[in-house]
Amino acid sequence: MTAKNKPKPKHVPQRTCVGCREVLPKRKLIRLVKTEEGVRIDLSGKLPGRGAYLHDQKSCWKRGLKGTLANALRTTIPEQDLAVLIAYMEGLPESIPESGDAQAEETFDKD
């Protein structure tokens, strides 16, 4: 009888980063979408069109812009859009240390 009273866990949509192939909650990734005007960064996650997801770190964006992003969007990325995406990528951190990552802890302990 108590099983019926348990609330269902909330569904969290999962998406795969096209740069590193890691599956994470949708809200932790940046969505890029193919529209009629070209490839756009969709920070709201609501633009219509075919979408693909990347981490917010340069390493994933570099891999994604080499070709996996274009494959996921089923298009070729125009030069103007590629320049905008590269400019956005330059503002991202190189990588984000995991909280349980031993190497990340070592780099912080050296200070």
CATH of the domain at 54: 3.30.1230.10
Q: Are strands 23-25 and 14-16 parallel, antiparallel or unpaired?
A: antiparallel
What range does the domain containing 24 cover? 13-96
Is 77 among the domain residues? yes
Convert the pLDDT of each residue in 38-53 to its tens digit: 999 999 989 999 999 9
What is the number of domains present in the chain? Answer: 1
Convert the pLDDT of each residue in 18-71 to its tens digit: 999 999 999 999 999 999 999 999 999 899 999 999 999 999 999 999 999 999
**pTM of the complete model beyond 0.95:** no
Is 8 among the domain residues? no
Residue pair 56/24 in contact (Cβ under 8 Å)? The answer is no
Is 102 among the domain residues? no
Estimate to the nearest angstrom the gap between the alpha carbon of 16 and the chain centroid.
8
